[in-house]
A and B are shown apart, each in its own frame.
Chain A
Amino acid sequence: MAFRLKLVPDVTHFDFFKQQRYTFGASVVAVIASILLWAIMGLNFGIDFQGGTTIRSEGTQEVDIGAYRTAIAPVTQGDVLITEVFDPTFGEGRNVAMIRLQAQEGMESVTPETIAAVEAALQTVDPSITFPSVESVGPKVSGELIWTAIMAVMAATGAILVYIWLRFEWQFAVGAVAALVHDVVITIGIFALLQIRFDLSIIAALLTILGYSINDTVVVFDRLRENLIKFKTMPLREVMNISVNETLSRTVMTSGTTLVALIALLALGGDVIRGFVFAIAFGIVIGTYSSVFVAKNIVLWLGIKRDWSKPTDGPGGTQFATSEK
């Protein structure tokens, strides 16, 4: 017998519904908490969604936020946000800061004169300073970008709903989409809690989470569909447990390899995409959890049509009982 790394034993008989009250309950609590966090703390919107300008500065002297602020104050109006950026890949003598200027009333984007003035002011603090990136987005575009982002997430969810409905049954579609909403809402909740900058690339990350999470859920559902034919009389709950147990090894393996690759990127990929990678990595953990603990619970709760000649076992499944042969 050759050596094999086994993250999951060959045969498992976990009862994934045993702790249902806690696991599903925890999901419900997490979703509600995320919505509350989102409503109360709000998201730290980047300029993509709020308009304004960000300037990335890089110098050899240590970043002195106070001195930066005093230098900039005379030439700007509105809020100025200065944050120092840390990254293990920077090494000695690279001190990076992000300066964010609020969009000015009635202006499409911050004027080049203001940006030039800010850059000149910062150079008086640290003569070695350079500005590797400057981005400016006007309020008109940022408003549209929010809409596009919302539409994108809705369209993706809708398209998945329809596809699963066509390939499986409507209960599966509802279960899958509930799991997706769960993943996306909790990820947004974490962004609200940690106040990580939320910009256009995070929307891409959310959509990727949708794609990944549905991938996981579909694999479980696919096995469930197969087992429903195989074990015609077994209670739905048992069949679900068997299906999840059978695919558990694959679920853990795939999440594992994906996470390993993402952790490499999170640690070594630089600070520019860290928020983006963090969102995806977090979403994959949540997505794996939801395909095991959320999606099928909803399907169980909705019930599904089993052997079409008899009433179903599922609690809510009687609506199809005798209507069809």
Chain B
Amino acid sequence: MLHIPLWKRVIILGLVGLGLLTAMPNLFYARVEAHNDAVAQIEASGVETPELVAARDAWPSWLPSGLVNLGLDLRGGAHLLAEVQVADVYKDRMDGLWPELRDALRAERATVGTVRRAASDPGELRVQISQPEGMARAVEVARTLASPVVSLTGIGETDLEVTGSGDTLTIALTEAERTATDDRTMQQSVEIVRRRVDEVGTREPTIQRQGEDRVLIQVPGIGSAAELKALIGTTARLTFQPVISRGSDASASPGLGNVLLPAADEQGVFYVLEQSPVVSGEELVDARPDFDQNGRPAVSFRFNPTGARKFGDYTAENIGQLFAIVLDDEVISAPQIQSHIPGGSGIITGSFSVEESTNLAVLLRAGALPAEMTFLEERTVGPELGQDSIDAGRIASMVGLAAVVLMVVASYGLFGVFASVTLIFNIGMIFGLLSVIGGTLTLPGIAGIVLTIGMAVDANVLVFERIREELKTAKGPARAIELGYEKAMSAIIDANITTFIVASILFFVGAGPVRGFAVTLAIGIITSVFTALFVTRVLVAAWFHWRRPKTIIV
């Protein structure tokens, strides 16, 4: 098969050319990156500043501009794995259900008697009724509060599971509702984390759901994981609650329907507040850092129309009362209502620093997390360490490549030169493919490329060794080359498929840097088989047709 049809040669060399072309932007990494950023920024803002235009024009737009993403270990940045406490939401649901249920049961006082809430697990609502005979009726009433589950799998089911035994009525979420709720909680959490990270304006963050209840957050270029955690680890649930009393007793019993919360700034001060808030952060439309009349940092906010009405009505009716501003179960401040506040806007004061008030404004704008998050894993890599790794990897690859080329040329002469040329094509194509699929290059990924440099020669070596053997049995050179390729094929295919299996397994079970390694390894296998079987062959065939040698030495 030394004669390769023209169309085949065109396709093979075309693919190599395409690979090299798409790899090329990586040689001018900084310039292309600036170009891409400028294009994105101009598109987003619609404004063309001279700097942006200069950055954009530094790289011609008709050239490919895809780049290999650098992993966090090479670029520097922070990585967090958070677990969302999805069960928190069940408790909120139960707390929200209680007033509704109480009112419904009170209407049936004649049959069920008096009702009171009993202690229970956080995900349950337990109610004791004074007339156990009326339990059947109580269960019936409670069931009317249930609504159908909104999810694909939970069709035909309701969201509440109501059971009654003796004088206790127990209400919990059904399994289907829990699954649906968890799903919503996760979606909201991911969305809110994304909004918060976007508010800070870092580039290309990765925020994705992992498994049942986890969120993976990777932000390149951020100084430390602690900084990132401060931003996304705060629940930021803001509520405005009426104050019943203020005291210093941490163990005071707040009474039914009330809660005892500590003050954020004053040690040993506790407030008893009504449990149900008047308005909450969900009804905010805006929040921004500001200063109060004394010039201290504060956060100003504005409610949406319904929030503004509730806020206005309450302040009108309760002039002179204390009104607590609560953030994540701590009372930030509890000012006295001086007058009716009709416009739906206000200001939160407290002992903030400018930085804290800015952060709080960001958090309030992005919205509260539906549930608390705990952090299972956090990693920070400084940009200098990443750059060091890139430099070391680059030098090592060059030296490795030179040594391999030397060895191959010394062993196989002209055929070794062909193999070396295709090896360089091969590396180019790896980068080209990585750029096209938007793959991420990690430190182990660089090792994967170096390993490929060593192993890519293997397919060529198999063919060359086979040609040598065939030459011994005194066939003509053309026939020997043909047979060499033919007979080496099964070994090349089997050997590379097994390695490819391993790379796929690495990809599916690995995380982060390991996954990056699997991708480069798999791409390396594909490109090295392609270059060895097709590209080297085109080169060998071209040489053969040009020189028409009577004998060849491999």
| Given A116-B226, A212-B499, A264-B396; A159-B461 close (CB under 8 Å) | no
Residues in B with CB closer than 8 Å to A115 are 226
Pairwise interchain contact A152-B375, C-beta atoms closer than 8 A: no
- Of the listed stretches A4-12, A22-30, A70-78, A233-241, chain B binds A4-12
**CB atoms of A258 and B454 under 8 A apart:** yes
- Give the interface size bracket for B toward A: 35 or more
CB distance from A117 to the nearest CB of B (A): 12
Shortest C-beta distance, B242 to chain A (Å), equals: 35
**Residue B69 is within 8 A (CB to CB) of chain A in the complex:** no
Q: Report how far A250 CA is from B396 CA in the complex, Å.
A: 25
Closest to B455 in A: A258
- Does A65 count as interface, using CB distance less than 8 angstroms? no
Taking CB atoms, residues of chain B closer than 8 Å to A280 are: 447, 451
**Per-residue contact bits, chain B 490-510, to A (CB 8 Å; 1 contact, 0 not):** 110011111101110110011
Contact A262-B451, Cβ < 8 Å, known A115-B226, A133-B382, A207-B506: yes
Q: Which residue of A lies closest to B497 (CB)?
A: A163
Pairwise interchain contact A264-B400, C-beta atoms closer than 8 A = yes
Specify which of B375, B380, B395, B454 is in contact with A268 (CB 8 Å cutoff): B395
Number of A-B contacts (CB under 8 A): 234
Number of interface residues of A (CB under 8 A): 79
Does B106 count as interface, using CB distance less than 8 angstroms?
A: no
- Asked whether, in the complex, the Cβ of B505 is within 8 Å of the Cβ of A222, the reply is no
A108-B375, A131-B382, A132-B382 known; A264 vs B499 contact (CB < 8 Å): no
Residues B501 and A160 in contact, CB atoms below 8 Å apart: yes
Closest residue of chain A to B459, judged by CB? A254
Q: Quick one: which of B224, B468, B499, B506 contacts A152, CB cutoff 8 A? A: B506
Knowing A2-B413, A109-B377, A109-B378 touch, does A256 contact B407 (C-beta < 8 A)? yes
> Which parts of A124-145 form the interface with B (CB within 8 Å)?
130-138, 140-141
The 8 Å CB contact of B396, one of A140, A163, A258, A269, is: A269
The answer to whether A4 and B412 have CB atoms under 8 Å apart is yes
User: Is B376 in the interface zone, CB < 8 Å from A?
Assistant: yes
Report the minimum CB–CB distance from B543 to chain A (whole Å): 15
The one of B378, B396, B444, B462 that contacts A204, using a Cβ cutoff of 8 Å: B444
How far is B499's CA from A297's CA once the two chains are assembled, in angstroms? 23
Please report the C-alpha to C-alpha distance between residue A159 and residue B491 in the assembled complex, in whole angstroms.
18
Residue of B nearest to A55 (CB): B380
- The verdict on B521 contacting chain A, using a C-beta distance below 8 Å, is yes
Please, which residues of chain B bring their CB within 8 A of the CB of A212?
Answer: 455, 499
Query: Within the assembled complex, what's the spacing in Å between the Cα atoms of A214 and B455?
Result: 13
B411:A258 contact, CB within 8 angstroms? no
Tell whether B513 is near chain A: CB-to-CB under 8 Å: yes
Asked whether, in the complex, the Cβ of B377 is within 8 Å of the Cβ of A277, the reply is no
Partner of B503 from the list A131, A148, A211, A262 (CB cut-off 8 Å) is A211
CB-CB contacts below 8 Å: A211-260 with B = 211-212, 214-216, 218-219, 222-223, 226, 246-247, 249-250, 253-254, 256-260
Between A and B, 23 residue pairs with Cβ closer than 8 Å are: A2-B413, A4-B410, A5-B407, A132-B381, A134-B379, A137-B377, A155-B505, A159-B502, A160-B498, A163-B498, A200-B511, A215-B496, A249-B465, A253-B411, A254-B461, A257-B408, A257-B454, A262-B451, A264-B397, A269-B446, A269-B450, A270-B389, A276-B447
Task: Name B's A-contacting residues (CB within 8 A).
Answer: 73, 81, 83, 224-226, 229, 374-382, 384-385, 388-389, 392-393, 395-397, 399-401, 403-404, 407-408, 410-413, 443-444, 446-447, 450-451, 453-455, 457-458, 461-462, 465, 468-469, 487, 490-491, 494-499, 501-503, 505-506, 509-511, 513-514, 517-518, 521, 553
18 further contact pairs, Cβ within 8 A, besides A134-B225, A258-B458: A1-B553, A112-B226, A133-B382, A135-B378, A138-B376, A140-B83, A201-B444, A204-B506, A204-B510, A212-B499, A215-B498, A218-B494, A222-B495, A253-B457, A253-B461, A258-B455, A261-B450, A262-B400
Chain A interface (Cβ < 8 Å from any Cβ of B): 1-7, 10, 56, 89, 108-109, 112, 115-116, 130-138, 140-141, 148-149, 151-152, 155-156, 159-160, 163-164, 167, 200-201, 203-204, 207-208, 210-212, 214-216, 218-219, 222-223, 226, 246-247, 249-250, 253-254, 256-265, 267-270, 272-273, 276-277, 280
